[in-house]
Structures are given as C-alpha cells and as structure tokens.
Chains A and B, each alone.
Chain A
Amino acid sequence: MDLDPLMLSRIQFAFTISFHILFPAFTIGLACWIVALEALWLRGGAIYRSLSEFWTKIFAISFGMGVVSGIVMTYQFGTNWSVFADATGFVLGPLIQYEVVTAFFLEAAFLGILLFGRDRVPKGIHFTAAFLVALGTVISAFWILSANSWMHTPAGAELGEDGRFRVSDWWEVVFNPSFPYRFSHMVTAAFLTTGFVVAGISAWFLLKYRHVEHARIGLGMSLGLITVLAPLQIVLGDLHGLNTLEHQPTKVAAMEGHWEGGAGAPLILFALPDMEAETNHWEVGIPELSSLILTHSLTGEVPGLLDVPAEERPYVPLIFWTFRIMVGLGLLMLVIAVTHVVLRLRGRLYEATWFHRLLVVTTPIGFVAIIAGWITTEVGRQPWIVYGLLPTADGVTPSLTGAAALVSLVTFLVVYALIFTAGTYYIVRLLQLGPKPPSHYLEPQAAQVAGRPMRPMSKTVESFEPGD
C-alpha cells in the first residue's frame, strides 16, 4: 500500500482539531456561566454556589481534556506542516505566542484558585479568579480565530521571494477581513453550545424530579440566553456568509451547490453534488431564493463552481451537506427559542414535559453545529492552506514518511478514543450525582433558621417530588 503523508497528515489534523474544538466550544460558555452563578452567589443564595460548584467540576474535566488536546495542536503545525510553518511563521507565530501569554497562563493560573482555592482566598478573589478564567477563554478564542481567519483572508503580509510571508501591517493581519465575522460567529456558537447542554441537563433533572430547584434556575437562565443568541446567530451567520461571498466565492458556490453561477440562482434544499459530472443529482430548490439571500435581489449574480478550474475546487458534497446540517440546527435552535417564549408567557415552562424531552434530545446540537460549520469553512478553503497563495499540498513536512504519519494518526485515534470515553463516563457520573443541596453551604446557624433548604416555589416543587 502506498501511504501518502499528505493525506494522512490532513486526516490527522482534521481529526485532532475536531476533537479539540469540542472542549473550548463548551468551556468558553461554561466559564461565563460559572461567573454569572458566582456573581449571584456573592449577592447571597446558596443555591447558586451549589450550582456553580456542580458545573465547575464538569468544567474542570472538559478544560483538562481541552488543554492536553490543545498542546498537540501547537506542535502539529511543525511536525506535520513544516513548509506551512516556515512560510507563515513570521505572521502566525506571534499570534499564537500572544494567545499563550495573554490567555493560557491566565486561565491556568486562576483555574487552580477557582477549583481548589475557595477556602483559601476571600470571596471576592475567588470570584475574580472565575472571571479571569472566563476572560482567558475568550481571549484565547480571539487570537486563534485571528490566526485561522488570516489563513482564509491573508491581509497585511506579502509572500516574499524566499517563500515566506513578511508582515507589513500588524493591524491588518490581526483584524483581517474575515476575522470579526468568524470571531463573533464562533463565540456565539460556543455560548449556544453551553446553553443547550445546561438546558438539556436541567430538563433531564426536571423529568427525573431531581434537583428541581437547581434545574429550574438552569433551565430558565439557559433558555433566556438561547432566546437572545439563536436569532442573533442567524444574523451573524448571514453576515459571515456575505463576507465569504466577497473573499471566497468558490466556497459559497460549494455551500449553495451552484455549478453554474449567474443571475436568479435557486436556493437548493436537497441535491447530491457530483464532482466528476460537474452537476447535481436529485436537485430540489426554490427558484431565485439564493440570489435573494446572497445579493438581496432576485436577479443578483452569484458565483458558480464552474467559474474556476476543476483543480481549484474544494470537495463539494462535504461542504454542501455540512453547511445544511449547520443551518438546519441553527433553525432548530430558533424554533426552540420561540417555543420557550410561548411556554414562558403561558407560565408552563417548568411543566411542559414534552418540551423537556425535546431539550434532552437537543443537548449536543451545539457541538454538532460547530463541527459541521468548521468542516464547511475549512474544507471550503481547499485546495489552499493559505487562501489563494499557498496550496495545502505544498505545506506538508518534506521529511515525513507515510509510515510515520500512519503511526501518529492511529496513535491519536486510539488515545483520543480512550480519553474521550473515560472523560464522557466521568462527566455522566457527575451529572448523575447532581449538585449538592444548597443547605450544604449554609452556615450551621443559618441552616437551622432556614430549616429546610429555601424553596420559594415549594408548592410546585413538592408536587414534583412524590417521595418527598
């Protein structure tokens, strides 16, 4: 068998980055949610501390897996993509380095205090630690998305005679044309991901009549967030798409499944794109709608895949379908947001068990949407590693042998499968244990006065707990 180090390296990168992104996608939102709970705890209310500690444990496991899988990424640029690293080192190196010193150290130093320091530092410092960890996660997203966006829209640097990019304007590099869109789209996606996890777990507790008070707070807060962010995300996604249309028209053509561009293009809902025949099979579309969405005019011109030579086209079926998965899930998020508003206005949010079941099912949709979206944008960049300037095929390490690349790929597959299984198992166990009762955190005296844990809505709660 002929082992191709290029293909193996691409598979390895795709696999390790997809695995890695799950954790930051979750921890960015979770860190902010913990800050909100800690802020509420500062103002009193042991229930918030109990919730915060519950989610902090889950945060710790996810963050740990994010750290160890992230280190692999830092090294992989060099081990497998040394020509790419050589060409872009002057540009991307400093961005990654800034991520380390502004974000990673901040997160790592204050994570220790957040996890283990509650009894060792004053309340205010503990809150500050939670805040700084959350800030670190967002700063980290800022730098890495700046670096990634630069690979899509390389501005502020010129490719020199020696095959290396030299920076002429750092501002243009950092705030390259696709960065603001990608950053806001991704951070919102991360918040939505966490929102759906918190909503799903809270709904699950409600269905099981367990930790009802915690679950109501979790459900109320997460659905409130989803209601604001789900529609916002669709607007941001649209803006991001328009930006892509401007800078990477071929990618948009692949997302839309348009072989022939031109005026009055249909919005294709279903199709099986065929790369060899350069056409779609089984196409179902709505006439002129794509032109309307992309150009805000029924007769607007849209790009087509046939505009560029076959070797400059990315693999269309994958982009076409992952894009539809992402958009479909985004619309489902919107439906859930609207349903939530209706139920809340009718005062039935905490009783509608069918809705809670739906939320349990949709717990992972944020993760799926994020992976699908990243596949769309990254596969859509092909065949370029730096769009329009450096082909992916030229970026791979020349000394790398197919056998070595296979060994590393298989190793990462096996190790990540093991770690992921174990991590998921421990997270599920933590979820089954659930949060501690709020009375656990009251001062002994206060606990006596309060008698049983605070129950502002004890009537409904008791009807939920038959054995209580």
Chain B
Amino acid sequence: MDWQDLTLIWTGICAFAVFMYVLMDGFDLGLGILFPFAPTDRDRDIMMNSVAPIWDFNETWLILGGAGLFAAFPVAYVVLLPAFYLPLLVMLVALIFRGVAFEFRFKAGASRHLWDTSFNLGSLVATFSQGVVLGAFIQGIAVEGRQYAGGMFDWLSLFSILCGVALVAGYGLLGATWLIWRSEGALQDWARAMSKRFLVAVLLFVLVVSAWTPLVNADIRARWFEWPNIALLSPVPIVTALVAYGLWRAVETGREVRPFALGMVLFLLSYLGLAISLWPNIIPPDVTIWDAASPPESQMFLLVGMVFLIPVVLVYTVYSYWVFRGKVSAEGFYH
C-alpha cells in the first residue's frame, strides 16, 4: 500500500472519529442544553440518567479525534490547536463542568441545583465553542511553515458566532430526538415539541450557513456553483430537505426511534456537505491532507492496530448501549 492510499485511509478514520464524536456527544450535550427547560425536576433526573452510563464513552471520541490528528496529521494538530487557543480553552473548561456534574449531582444534597446549572451551562458553552471552532475553521487559517501564523482572536467573526449558535440548535435537536426514544408520557410529549422547534431552528441555520459559507470562502463557492459540480452535487441539498421532512413527519406520527435516526442522518448530510466543500484540504484554505500527513512508517504502525481495534471498540459500544436499552426512569440505573 503506498503512502497516498494510507493517507486516504487515515483521512477516513479521522473523519469517522470526529463524526462519531459529533453524533454521540452531540445528543448528550443536547440534553444538557434542553435541561433547564424540562417540565419537572423528575424529568431532569430521567434526562441525566439516560446518558449517565454512556457519556464518558461518548466523550472519548473527542480524545480520539484530537489524538488521531496528532498521530496521522500532525501538521493539522500543530496549526489548529494554537489557532483556536481561546475557544478550545473555553470548551475544555465547559466540558469539565459538564462532566463532573454527572458524578457530583447525584451525590449532592442542597447544592444539587448548582450541578444542574453546571451541567446545563457546561453543555451549552462546550457546544457553542465547538461551533465557533468549526466556523473559524471554514473561514481559513493563516499558516507559515508548519506553524499557525495568525493572532489569538482570528477565530472571532460573525460567521463563527453564527456557527456556534447553529451547533447549539443541532445538538439540541439530537438531544430532543434521543429523549423521544428513551422517555415516555409527558416528558416524551415535551421532547416531541422541542424536537419540532429545534428542527425548524436547525433548518434555518443550515440554510444561512450554507448560503454564507460560499461568501466567506471563494474555493467553496467554486466547488459548489461551477458547472458540472452544481448538477452533480444538487442531490445533497435535495436529500437534506427530504430527510428534514421525514423527521418532521416521524415526530408528528408518534414514531419513537425514527426521529433520532433521521436527526443523525441530517447531521451526516451536513457533514458530507462540509467534506465536499473542504476536500482535499485539512486546513483551509490550502493545506491538503497530503501536506499534513505523517510519514508511512507512522501511519502503518498505527493502522495495524486500528484495523483490529476500531471494530472491537464498535462491538462493545453496541453491547454497552444494548445493556442500557429501553425507557429510562427517574431512579435510573442507580439502585
């Protein structure tokens, strides 16, 4: 296998890891975003219980994404992390407050509301900073040699803020549809109402971001709107519209699993759209995956392990989710 192919395989692995993170931590961050609006305290217990056994696992994909970049595309790791120094700091701190809330909340007495707030704000702020990072990434990064060459606030723009808000809506949708699946009764009805609101918000943001992206990045404009690409790529927005309609219908007709599944498909399509926009760059506007990739001896050493380990990881993911299947009660899995 030559280095070109290896680099493609590693692009696939890293893209998969990031996407898994977005999906899996997406819905439990989403629950955190919805948290303060839940009808009762009991409902909040249920929401938290529904992800308590798996949140840690979901967050591990974030470490895989970070470590994967470091291993397979060190140039991207080296450039992107300093470029997003401040938003990443905010994200890490928010994830700390979100994460410890899972452990502390159920042990807390009077200070329980403190950890409710910690869980909610942690989720909200972590999501928002991830969106900001995404937006800043799409805008492009100043690179010199193999190092970041911009300032500490290059990430800050109206576009990146918009992306931050958009991701809050997106994770909120995932959280609400997850809750439809895992709850019942009044809470499920509430989750349905929330799903619809967040779906509308998501569609609005997808529209705005999709319209705005070609404006902030000329290469992306060329990618989508020049002939024959415009014809070849037109199915992406069309399928997105169909999936969104399907999701709305699924919520209306009382489906339990389908809204969550379609929510994930919606994310997949947006992710695909982003990939099409950026390909083959790993740091827009002009560092390609080949510029950033590790040499073959490093890629091979890791690949040998990944070929066995990633499927194993997926098998016990499925097992772990299966163990905690079904509707969740306020007592949850604690006894």
Point out residues on A near B: beta carbons under 8 Å. Answer: 57, 60-61, 64-65, 67-72, 74-75, 77-79, 82-83, 85-86, 89-94, 96-102, 104-106, 108-113, 115-121, 166-168, 170, 397-401, 403-404, 407-408, 411-412, 415, 419, 422-423, 426, 429-430
Contacts and interface: CB of A to CB of B under 8 A. Distances in A.
A111 B149 CA distance: 42
Given A67-B99, A116-B52, A90 B59 contact: no
Given A78-B78, A85-B77, A93-B70, A100 B92 contact: no
Given A93-B67, A98-B305, A399-B149, A112 B74 contact: no
A85 B60 CA distance: 21
Given A75-B81, A419-B100, A101 B305 contact: yes
Nearest to B92: A72
Contact of A411 (B66, B93, B150): B93
Closest 4 CB pairs of A and B: A89-B74, A78-B81, A93-B71, A116-B333
Contact of A64 (B56, B64, B310, B333): B56
A419 B96 CA distance: 8
Given A404-B152, A419-B97, 11 more contacts: A61-B104, A70-B63, A78-B81, A89-B70, A89-B77, A93-B72, A94-B294, A106-B316, A109-B313, A397-B85, A426-B103
Contacts of B89: 79, 407-408, 411
B280 interface: no
Contact of A94 (B80, B100, B302): B302
Taking each of B60, B99, B319, which has the highest tally of chain A beta carbons within 10 Å of its own beta carbon? Answer: B60
Nearest to A427: B107
Interface string B312-335: 010011011001100000001111
B257 interface: no
Contacts of A112: 52-54, 56-57, 320, 323-324
B68 interface: yes
B105 to A, nearest CB: 10
B297 interface: yes
22 contacts: A71-B95, A75-B88, A78-B70, A78-B77, A78-B82, A85-B78, A89-B74, A97-B64, A97-B302, A101-B305, A102-B309, A110-B316, A112-B52, A112-B56, A112-B57, A113-B323, A166-B295, A170-B297, A398-B147, A398-B148, A403-B152, A423-B100
Contact of B93 (A118, A167, A415): A415
B165 interface: no
- Counting chain B residues whose Cβ lies within 8 A of the other chain, the interface size class is 35 or more
B74 A430 contact: no
B95 A423 contact: no
Nearest to A64: B103
Given A93-B72, A104-B63, A68 B100 contact: yes
Interface of B: 52-54, 56-57, 59-60, 62-64, 66-68, 70-72, 74-75, 77-86, 88-89, 92-93, 95-97, 99-100, 102-104, 107-108, 146-152, 294-295, 297-298, 301-302, 305-306, 309-310, 313, 316-317, 319-320, 323-324, 332-335
Contacts of A412: 93
Contact of A86 (B52, B100, B146): B146
Taking each of A115, A116, A166, which has the highest tally of chain B beta carbons within 10 Å of its own beta carbon? Answer: A116
A170 B301 contact: yes
Contacts of A91: 298
B71 to A, nearest CB: 3
B74 A100 contact: no
Given A82-B81, A429-B107, A117 B324 contact: yes
A7 B334 CA distance: 46
A85 B324 CA distance: 39
Contacts of B309: 101-102
A65 B323 CA distance: 25
Contacts of B151: 399
A401 B320 CA distance: 44
Contacts of B63: 70-71, 74, 100, 104
Nearest to A105: B313
Given A69-B96, A116-B333, A120-B333, A166 B297 contact: yes
Main secondary structure of the interface of B (DSSP, over half): helix
A113 B53 contact: yes
B132 to A, nearest CB: 15
Contact of A75 (B66, B99, B313): B66
A136 to B, nearest CB: 11
A167 B297 CA distance: 7
A60 B95 CA distance: 17
Contacts of A119: 335
B60 A108 contact: yes
Contacts of B107: 57, 61, 426, 429-430
Nearest to B309: A101
B56 A111 contact: yes
B78 A96 contact: no
Contacts of A93: 67, 70-72, 74, 77, 294, 298
Nearest to A92: B70
A412 B99 CA distance: 15
B67 A99 contact: yes
A404 B85 contact: yes
Contacts of A104: 60, 63-64
Contact of A79 (B54, B88, B298, B302): B88
Nearest to B80: A78
A56 B259 CA distance: 36
Contacts of A108: 56-57, 59-60
A102 B298 CA distance: 17
Contact of A101 (B52, B56, B64, B88): B64
B298 A90 contact: yes
B133 to A, nearest CB: 11
A86 B88 CA distance: 19
A72 B90 CA distance: 11
Contacts of B79: 82
Contacts of B80: 78
A101 B104 CA distance: 27
A67 B56 contact: yes
A85 B70 contact: yes
B78 A86 contact: yes
Contacts of B100: 64-65, 68, 419, 422-423
Given A121-B323, A167-B297, A82 B82 contact: yes
Contacts of B146: 86
A96 B67 contact: yes
A137 to B, nearest CB: 14
A120 B323 CA distance: 7
Contact of B67 (A74, A79, A113, A407): A74
Contacts of A116: 52-53, 324, 332-334
A115 B60 contact: no
A150 to B, nearest CB: 14
